[in-house]
Amino acid sequence: MEGRPAAPGPYRATKLWNEITKYFRAGMPLRKHRQHFKKHGSCFTASEAVDWLHEVLRNNSNFGPEVTRQQTVQLLRKFLKNHVIEDIKGRWGAENLEDNGALYRFPSASPVKSLPSLCPPKENLGNFSRDKERLLKLPHLSRRPFKKIELLQSLENTGKPIPDITEEKKADKLHRNEISQEYVEETWRNVILIHLQTILGLPSLEGVLQPTQIVPEYIIYNMTNTSKHGVVILQNKADDLPHWVLSAMKCLAYWPRNNDMSQPTYSGFERDVFRTVADYFLSLSEPLLTFEYYELFVNILDLLQPHLERIAVEALQICCLLLPPPSRRKLQLLMRMMARISGNVDMPRLHHALGTRSLMIQTFSRCVLCCSEEVDLDELLSTRLVSFLMDHQQEIFQVPTYLQVTVRDHIEYMKVTQSKCPEEEICAILPTYSYCKQITPQEFEEQKVSTSQAAVAELLENIIKDKNLSVKDKKKKLKQFQKEYPLIYQKRFPTTENEAMLLENKPTIKPPMLSLRKPRFRSLRY
């Protein structure tokens, strides 16, 4: 199990639960124990289970080394509650397991959970009907225009007069070069779906992300309404963080250089400020990644590996664009604060037992990723995702301009196509995504490489144009980039002179040393 990630796709958390419970039952060592002058066979102590399971989780690619012993204890409590294990007397259903010498055993019943059905339950048919109506309102194939015969038949059946087809053609010709907002939004929706399906490597996004969950207005707003630091700017201040929370976060992020709190500092002041920020985020009614995108972000966990780091960043870039602007802003500010606090050597210890980084991740993981229904592995999954978000927040929250270029180029292409399209009936009955063209596997691989190279080249330009980086830090990042992507770097800087001119690191030419020796003159005397 150490090197085998859970299968991606719908209900990944449930699949992961089933796999780890099976592995725990099959691998946990059992032996005889004595308790209260009585021998018990094929059992284990709670501490033994914590030791064994903690080591397994830390070495598992689905969780990683961020898993703490306390989180392992909490998972074992879930095991006891769901009858994966029971105490030596056969009792289960509570979460009273502690890290001690109490004895437990495996029940005879299988702990495997059944996967939810993709069909909606009867009690949710009302919601499903509403979602279906919303889906039918979108410009998919179901909304293709009628053919002439269908139009005539429908009008004859309803008894309505037949409109003048010639007038309709004239009106259609006037608007031929105009692209509707509905079509632009559908283009954004298709581009996002194609990119995510390719990145995640899934045959289908069914059960992971539905087209109706993609709101183009959110994407466009998140990409265009940003500050110079890339943070979303909200038009409605009521949706923003309260002023006192922003002040507290700023105080912690720049501690101790920027303490603009009106209250004077005292011993333990920074702990109280941190507790204030934590209480606000933990009191939110919905996680920052929202309930509806839970399956999507859980499926990205497979990409959080060293050799897939760049792909994971690209996937999270796109997924974070789907969030409502208030949620994206809060998430970005929270990740920036966590990263600054974790790297601040001047920050006093905020917890007597936990390090600063562990405290940040454990405190805010549940308010970032969580399922609407109780999922037993939520905390372990969210811990790993939040750790990656915090470490790569600057790259993840950059605006992926290549998406804008893709949509813009397609819209321009459609305008040109419409202006040149002959007035045949087939042009009027094309579905919304009829522009899609099947390509060969070789062309797909070539396009995938070119898209990835464009994204990496964009990253290089961001490093070059970053005014917040010192020359020393910029040189360090450029050197690291040159090591990882030598061809792209050489294309940008074909000679060393180009690099020197960019960094304003021109070598100073020392003037030639002046001779201080006095010239000798011949004496004119004889």
In a domain, 269, yes or no: yes
pLDDT of residue 474: 83
Complete DSSP assignment for 465-488: H-TTS-HHHHHHHHHHHHHH-HHH
Task: Name the domain boundary from 70, 105, 140.
Answer: 105
Tens digits of per-residue pLDDT, 77-107? 989 988 899 999 889 988 899 999 999 999 9
Let me know whether 191 and 340 are in one domain: yes
pLDDT of residue 32: 92
Complete DSSP assignment for 125-179: HHHHHHHHHHHHHSSSGGGPPPPHHHHHHHHHHHTPPPP-HHHHHHHHHHTTT--
Residue 322: pLDDT over 90: yes
pLDDT of residue 64: 79
Let me know whether 374 and 472 are in one domain: no
Percent of the chain residues past pLDDT 70, beyond the cut: 72
Residue 495: pLDDT over 50: yes
Range with the poorest average pLDDT among 7-16, 201-210, 375-384, 410-419: 7-16
Let me know whether 383 and 486 are in one domain: no
In a domain, 82, yes or no: yes
Residue bearing the bigger pLDDT, 458 or 514: 458
Single out the residue of 447, 457, 464, 381 nearest to residue 194, CA to CA: 447
Let me know whether 382 and 479 are in one domain: no
Residue bearing the bigger pLDDT, 305 or 403: 403
pLDDT of residue 259: 57
Give the list of residues 6+ apart from residue 273 with CB closer than 8 angstroms, or none: 248, 251, 252, 261
CATH number at residue 16: 1.10.10.10
Residue bearing the bigger pLDDT, 265 or 364: 364
Task: Name the domain boundary from 339, 374, 396.
Answer: 396
Task: Name the domain boundary from 78, 105, 132.
Answer: 105
In a domain, 294, yes or no: yes
pLDDT of residue 359: 93
- Number of folded domains in the chain? 3
Tens digits of per-residue pLDDT, 471-482? 888 888 888 888
In a domain, 416, yes or no: no
Complete DSSP assignment for 331-399: HHHHHHHHHHHHT-TTSPPSSSSS-HHHHHHHHHSTTTS--SS--TTHHHHHHHHHHHHHHTHHHHTS-
Work out the pLDDT band at 134, boundaries 50, 70, 90: very low
Mean pLDDT of the chain, nearest integer: 78
Residue 25: pLDDT over 90: no
Tens digits of per-residue pLDDT, 333-373? 999 999 999 999 889 889 888 899 999 999 999 899 988 87
pLDDT of residue 17: 82
Complete DSSP assignment for 200-233: HT-S--TTT--GGG--HHHHHHHHHSB-TTS-B-
Tens digits of per-residue pLDDT, 206-249? 888 999 999 999 999 999 999 988 899 999 989 999 999 999 99
Tens digits of per-residue pLDDT, 269-289? 899 999 999 999 999 999 999
Work out the pLDDT band at 136, boundaries 50, 70, 90: very low
In a domain, 251, yes or no: yes
The structure's pTM equals: 0.60
As a whole number, mean pLDDT of residues 142-165 equals 39
pLDDT of residue 105: 93
Let me know whether 459 and 310 are in one domain: no
Let me know whether 263 and 386 are in one domain: yes
pLDDT of residue 132: 36
* Structural domain that includes position 202: 184-396
In a domain, 383, yes or no: yes
As a whole number, mean pLDDT of residues 25-49 equals 90
Residue bearing the bigger pLDDT, 145 or 278: 278
pLDDT of residue 388: 94
Let me know whether 498 and 389 are in one domain: no
CA dihedral 305, 459, 298, 129 (to 10 degrees): -160
Let me know whether 234 and 376 are in one domain: yes
Let me know whether 263 and 372 are in one domain: yes
Let me know whether 381 and 455 are in one domain: no
Residue 257's CB is within 10 A of a number of other CB atoms, namely 8
pLDDT of residue 376: 62
458, 310 contact by CB (below 8 A): no
Residue bearing the bigger pLDDT, 441 or 159: 441
Tens digits of per-residue pLDDT, 426-484? 344 333 433 445 566 677 666 766 777 777 787 888 788 777 778 888 888 888 888 87
In whole angstroms, what is the distance from residue 463 CA to residue 317 CA? 17
Percent of the chain residues past pLDDT 90, beyond the cut: 33
Let me know whether 272 and 369 are in one domain: yes
Distance of CA 74 to the CA centre of its chain: 26
In whole angstroms, what is the distance from residue 523 CA to residue 526 CA? 8
In a domain, 163, yes or no: no
Tokens (6 digits) for 313: 């960043």
pLDDT of residue 439: 64
In whole angstroms, what is the distance from residue 407 CA to residue 183 CA? 11
Residue 201's CB is within 10 A of a number of other CB atoms, namely 11
Q: Mean pLDDT highest for which of 128-132, 171-175, 231-235?
A: 231-235
Let me know whether 100 and 229 are in one domain: no
Residue 410: pLDDT over 90: no
Residue 177: pLDDT over 80: no
The three-state secondary structure class of 39 is strand
In a domain, 191, yes or no: yes
Residue bearing the bigger pLDDT, 415 or 272: 272
Element (H, E) at 86: strand 86-87
